[in-house]
């Protein structure tokens, strides 16, 4: 492209957290004045990467070059001094302070380095807001009183208050109305015209088409494509890169024959279940031994459906029946008592007790099994938990291991063991291989299939189309909270599903 | 049954010989061993502190400190706050806080010593103290669990109201207890093998508290709620009921403590239990209970109480003013928390 060196080059960036390798050799190259889009599913490593870029995380390995020279982003302040500003999705503004105070937080114009020159700050803030096309925002107002879109503008003004050369925007359009998005794009265009580079993160492909110059796609902590032209790369190719497999997986063979399964009584019946603004009325039947997959992009309502079936969200209509018994809506305990188990999307935040051992994580939903009058028989508990974890080949084979030291795949097995021990009949799996090392996935697939063979009914949500197609017997394709297609998994292929998933999005 | 075939799948659940699956076990610095030891190390270090204190007491005032009567006194003085601390440990372990314990002790102690209550004798006093504690705990629990109030605020409100009510009941006067069977429990004649009844009550509450926290589903749920309330809810635990029960438990402990205080002082006063909340929280924290919840230790809390009481005793024997005591207390809290950081250095939270 340009004769001068790229503004930013990151190569071979790695970063591990306990239990998961978040970045596994990521490359990124950003030119001055371009909009560089960063794409990837949840958990692909985008947020970790931008935190490295913002100086909030220190990479374990790899090199960063800034304007042709090696750079170390030791802290957020160091990154900011170089001219890298980050606008996070959850805006990091202090709601009780004024707009101007937020803009200049940490580098206020001062007298004698101590007394804040309020008026000067307000004037400067007003100038920045004007540059961003929002002169109507009063610099003296408290940020908490502003709309989400206005807060975002303030966040951008803060970025511009530094001598910024690169702005990272993490899903800036997520909270915005369409015309607010138009304004955002105007701002981005004005910034790049001034030579500022923008790293733009979004799930919305059509936005990337509109403002992006180049695209880097992340998947499983790796960059699967670096610097593709944003306007001319076919949407299908991009989505395939985000969702596809770059490794051939061995999916366990299906053992249920559809005819036999169809004859069985459904164990889970979902009738007209809906949640306003999240998903439309849904009908679904799940038979023992069957794996049904929900395919869809982020925002298609797939996780919301699972959590509503589980009672973690209260439905606005419809009902859930397990083995002929209708569940009290919006009650997790009713669902668990009826034999539903959930392996949620955010394992650490929603499922695991990170300070506790494997045994206690596994036994937490079945404590009454090893207790009399509340008194726990710890020997029986340990043995039962161990039987369950061994059945799933959880490593290490030590029930006292703290769960936080396990790898992602083994943490997931601990969650599955919990429901195995509980003896549940319906298993809801939300992104079961999220944060699981690529190598360990085949094993999880086999485990899930075996559980189904043993009579469990499984409802599987995954943003990875091949995973749904390879593992499920039946697939429901979701788009914008609606089932747009339902078919036997063997009748579908990846391209067909991708078309269905994206159909109707304006620019595909 | 057809066994599904896959590249990585092990043939069965047989242990040992099977090669490790593709997921490598993470290399960490011996996590399984440090995990079991960590709590012990902390308790050991606190025991060490206690030993040092005893040595200091023995050297500075050999006769007065090691005197049986003085040791009985230390244990007796630990008993009332100790019972409160056991309840507090449960609440903190669940990720909550109870600022109203001192006020609940005061309210229970004055309500149980009104002239009307005293007419019912021993049982009337005990019953009233316990019921008042439970009642106040119930209000806390309902506000927090079902009214979704922040524990800090709800129990702060209870602190203010319960103290106010205690003052209203007594009109600021000390209510002398005349029930002989109650007073007798405080006299040396009632000691069994040299152990005062109050100390036995403290020991009983400690043992029961330890068993409940470590051996029952109630204890497990407490830890789960404190460790990750959302995960606990999604695992099928009734988080709200658990929270309600925990504040009830704290109230119960305060009721028992109030009864013990009545025995100890022979009276009920609206100023009773002053700043117990701070002492109980401090003892639990230096004992090793995480203020953020998810880990709690009754043994640590009890050791924490003993450390504080022993310091107070040594300082009093050496005729040091209470201001010095307070400074020493603060220093110990800081030191204990710093030591804990060292022993449980694993980054997270």
- A83 and A216 housed in the same domain: yes
Q: Under a CB-based contact definition with an 8 Å cutoff, are residues B69 and B248 in contact?
A: no
In the structure, what pLDDT confidence band is assigned to residue B42 with cuts at 50, 70 and 90? Answer: low
What is the predicted pLDDT for the residue at A462? 87
Is A143 part of any domain?
Answer: yes
* Percentage of chain B modeled with pLDDT above 70: 85
Give the end of a domain, one of A193, A228, A243: A243
Of A337, A350, A446, Cβ closest to residue B6? A446
Report the pLDDT value the prediction gives residue B300, as an integer from 0 to 100. Answer: 93
Per residue in B270-301, pLDDT tens? 999 999 999 999 999 999 899 999 999 999 99
Inter-chain touch B235–A418, beta carbons under 8 Å: yes
Q: Is B228 on the interface with A (CB under 8 A)?
A: yes
pLDDT tens for each residue of A66-102: 998 898 889 888 888 899 998 887 777 888 889 998 8
> CB distance B36–A400 less than 8 Å?
yes
| Listed residues A381, A408, A423: the one ending a domain | A423
Q: Where are the alpha helices (DSSP H) in A274-327?
A: 302-309
Total beta-carbon pairs less than 8 A apart between chain A and chain B: 163
Interchain CB distance below 8 Å, A355 and B235 = no
Final residue of a domain: which of A243, A271, A295? Answer: A243
What CATH number should be reported for the domain holding residue A173?
3.40.50.300
Round to whole Å and give the CA distance between B145 and B244.
6
Same domain, A257 and A267: yes
Residue A493 belongs to a domain: yes
Residue A503 in this model has a pLDDT that exceeds 60: yes
Chain A residue with minimal CA distance to B16? A397
Contacts of B36 (CB under 8 A, 6+ apart): A400
Q: Give, in order, the Cα–Cα distances in Å from B75 to each of B51, B85, B134, B322.
A: 15, 14, 26, 19
Count of the separate structural domains present in chain A:
3
Domain hosting residue A362, numbered range:
349-423
Going by the DSSP 8-state scheme, the letter that residue A144 receives in this structure is G
Chain A residues 356-375 with CB within 8 Å of chain B = 356-357, 360, 364-365, 367-368, 371, 374-375
Would you state the CATH architecture of domain B62-341?
A: Orthogonal Bundle (1.10)
Q: What is the mean pLDDT of residues A278-284?
A: 93
Does A159 lie in the same domain as A17?
yes
| Domain assignment of residue A344, yes or no | no
Contact B231 A350 (CB under 8 A): yes
**pLDDT level of residue A3 (50, 70, 90 thresholds):** low
User: Can you tell me the distance from the alpha carbon of B305 to that of B80, in angstroms, rounded to the nearest whole number?
Assistant: 10
Segment 207-226 of chain B within 8 Å of chain A by CB: 215-218, 220-221, 223-224
Mean pLDDT of chain A: 86
Which chain B residues are within 8 Å of A405, Cβ to Cβ? Answer: 26, 28, 31-32
Mean predicted lDDT score pLDDT of chain B: 85
Higher-confidence residue of A42 and A6: namely: A6
pLDDT tens track for B48-60: 888 998 998 888 8
* For A358, nearest residue in chain B (alpha carbons): B32
Enter the ipTM: 0.78
Could A364 and B237 be called an inter-chain contact, meaning their C-beta atoms sit closer than 8 Å? yes
How many helices and strands (H and E) does chain B possess?
Answer: 15, 2
Of B199, B243, B250, nearest in space to B221 by CA: B243
Please judge whether A440 and B21 are an interchain contact, meaning their C-beta atoms are less than 8 angstroms apart: yes
Clarify whether residues A376 and A409 are in a common domain. Answer: yes
| pLDDT of A174 higher than 90 | no
A30 and A168 belong to one structural domain? yes
Strand partners, B302: none
Confidence band for A105, pLDDT divided at 50, 70 and 90 = confident
Is the domain of A234 the same as that of A376?
no
- Whole-angstrom Cα distance, residue A311 to residue A335? 6
Q: Are residues A311 and A406 in the same domain?
A: no
8 Å CB contact of B224 and A400:
no
- Whether A341 and A322 have beta carbons less than 8 Å apart is answered as no
Reported as a pLDDT band with limits 50, 70 and 90, residue A176 is confident
Q: Same domain for A34 and A157?
A: yes
Is residue A62 a part of any domain in this protein? yes
Q: Residue ranges per domain, chain B?
A: 62-341
Q: How would residue B40 be classed by pLDDT, with cut points 50, 70 and 90?
A: low
Q: Which tokens is B310 given?
A: 């022993």
Chain A contact probe: residue of B1, B2, B4 with most A CBs at under 10 A: B4
pLDDT for B24 equals: 37
- Segments in B185-236 forming alpha helices (H): 197-215, 217-227, 229-234
**Which residues are CB-neighbours of A136 under 8 A, at least 6 positions away?**
none
For chain B, say whether A236 makes contact (Cβ under 8 Å).
no
Residue B320 is given by DSSP the state -
Give me the residues of B, 44-83, that contact A with CB < 8 A. none
Domain co-membership, A296 together with A365:
no
Instruction: Please determine, for residue B15, whether its predicted confidence score (pLDDT) is greater than 80.
Output: no
Q: What is the pLDDT of residues A322-364, one digit of tens each?
A: 999 999 999 999 999 999 999 998 888 899 999 899 999 999 9
Instruction: Provide the pLDDT for residue B33.
Output: 38
| A466 shares a domain with A317 | yes
A349 touching chain B per CB within 8 A? yes
Same domain, residue pair A257 and A289 = yes
Same domain, A394 and A328: no
Q: Judge whether A1 lies within some domain.
A: no
Inter-residue contact A393 to B14 (CB < 8 Å)? no
Instruction: Specify if A430 maps to a domain.
Output: yes
pLDDT tens-digit readout, B227-271: 999 999 999 999 999 999 999 999 999 999 999 999 999 999 999
């Amino acid at each position: 492209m340009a004769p001068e060196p790229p503004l930013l080059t990151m190569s071979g960036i790695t970063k591990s957290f306990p239990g998961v390798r978040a970045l596994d050799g990521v490359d990124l190259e950003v030119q001055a004045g371009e909009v560089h889009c960063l794409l990837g599913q949840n958990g692909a490593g985008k947020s970790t990467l931008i935190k490295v870029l913002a100086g909030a995380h220190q990479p374990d390995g790899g090199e960063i070059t800034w304007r042709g020279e090696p750079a170390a982003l030791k802290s957020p302040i160091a990154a900011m001094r170089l001219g890298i500003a980050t606008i996070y999705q959850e805006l990091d503004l202090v709601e009780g302070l004024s707009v101007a105070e937020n803009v200049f937080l940490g580098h206020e114009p001062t007298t004698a380095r101590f007394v804040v020159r309020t008026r000067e700050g307000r004037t400067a803030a007003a100038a920045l807001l004007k540059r961003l096309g929002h002169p109507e925002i009063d610099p003296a107002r408290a940020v908490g009183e502003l709309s989400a879109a206005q807060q975002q503008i303030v966040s951008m003004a803060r970025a511009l208050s530094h001598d910024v050369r690169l702005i990272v925007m993490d899903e800036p359009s997520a909270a915005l109305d369409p015309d607010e998005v138009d304004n955002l794009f105007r701002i981005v265009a004005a910034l790049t015209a001034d030579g500022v580079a923008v790293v733009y993160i979004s799930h919305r492909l059509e936005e990337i088409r509109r403002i992006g110059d180049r695209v880097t796609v992340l998947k499983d902590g790796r960059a699967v494509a670096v610097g593709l032209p944003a306007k001319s790369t076919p949407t299908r190719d991009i989505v395939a890169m985000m969702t596809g497999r770059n490794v051939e997986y061995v999916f366990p063979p299906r053992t249920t024959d559809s005819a036999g399964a169809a004859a069985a009584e459904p164990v889970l019946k979902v009738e007209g279940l809906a949640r306003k603004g999240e998903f439309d009325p849904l009908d679904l039947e799940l038979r023992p031994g069957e794996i049904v997959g929900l395919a869809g992009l982020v925002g298609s309502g797939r996780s919301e459906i699972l959590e509503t079936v589980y009672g973690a969200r209260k439905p606005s209509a419809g009902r859930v029946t397990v083995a002929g018994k209708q569940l009290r809506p919006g009650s997790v305990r009713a669902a668990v008592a009826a034999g539903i188990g959930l392996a949620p999307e955010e394992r650490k935040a929603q499922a695991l007790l990170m300070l506790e051992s494997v045994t206690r994580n596994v036994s937490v939903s079945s404590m009454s099994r090893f207790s009399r009058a509340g008194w726990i028989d710890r020997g029986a508990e340990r043995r039962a938990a161990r039987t369950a974890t061994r059945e799933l080949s959880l490593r290490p084979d030590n029930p006292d291991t703290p769960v936080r030291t396990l790898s992602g795949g083994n943490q997931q097995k601990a969650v599955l063991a919990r429901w195995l021990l509980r003896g549940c009949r319906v298993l809801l799996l939300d992104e079961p291989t999220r944060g699981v090392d690529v190598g360990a996935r085949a094993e999880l697939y086999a485990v899930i299939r075996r559980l189904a063979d043993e009579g469990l009914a499984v409802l599987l949500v995954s943003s990875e189309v091949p995973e749904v197609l390879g593992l499920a017997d039946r697939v429901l394709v979701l788009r914008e909270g609606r089932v747009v297609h339902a078919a036997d998994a063997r009748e579908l292929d990846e391209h067909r599903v991708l078309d269905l998933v994206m159909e109707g999005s304006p620019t595909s | 049954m057809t066994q599904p075939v896959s590249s990585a799948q092990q043939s069965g659940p047989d242990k040992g010989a099977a090669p490790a699956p593709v997921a490598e076990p993470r290399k960490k610095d011996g996590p399984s061993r440090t995990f079991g030891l960590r709590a012990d190390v902390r308790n050991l270090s606190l025991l060490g502190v206690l030993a040092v204190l005893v040595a200091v007491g023995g050297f500075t005032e050999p006769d007065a400190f090691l005197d049986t009567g003085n040791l009985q006194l230390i244990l007796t003085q630990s008993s009332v706050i100790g019972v409160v601390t056991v309840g507090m440990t449960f609440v903190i372990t669940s990720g909550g806080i109870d600022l109203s314990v001192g006020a609940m002790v005061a309210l229970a102690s004055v309500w149980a010593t009104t002239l009307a209550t005293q007419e019912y004798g021993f049982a009337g006093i005990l019953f009233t103290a316990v019921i008042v504690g439970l009642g106040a705990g119930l209000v806390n629990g309902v506000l927090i669990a079902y009214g979704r109030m922040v524990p800090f605020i709800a129990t702060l409100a209870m602190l203010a109201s319960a103290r106010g009510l205690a003052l209203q009941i007594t009109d600021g006067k000390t209510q002398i207890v005349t029930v002989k069977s109650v007073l007798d429990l405080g006299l040396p004649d009632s000691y069994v093998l040299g152990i005062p009844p109050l100390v036995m009550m403290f020991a009983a509450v400690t043992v029961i508290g330890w068993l409940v926290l470590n051996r029952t589903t109630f204890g497990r749920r407490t830890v789960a709620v404190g460790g990750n309330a959302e995960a606990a809810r999604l695992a099928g635990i009734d988080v709200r009921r658990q929270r309600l029960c925990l504040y009830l438990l704290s109230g119960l402990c305060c009721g028992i403590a109030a009864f013990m205080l009545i025995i100890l002082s022979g009276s009920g006063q609206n100023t009773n239990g002053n700043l117990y909340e701070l002492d109980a929280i401090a003892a639990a924290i230096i004992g090793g209970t995480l203020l953020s919840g998810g880990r709690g230790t009754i043994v640590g809390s009890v050791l924490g109480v003993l450390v504080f009481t022993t310091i107070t005793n040594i300082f009093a024997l050496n005729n040091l003013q209470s201001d010095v005591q307070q400074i020493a207390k603060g220093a110990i809290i800081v030191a204990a928390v710093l030591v804990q950081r060292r022993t449980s250095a694993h980054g997270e939270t």
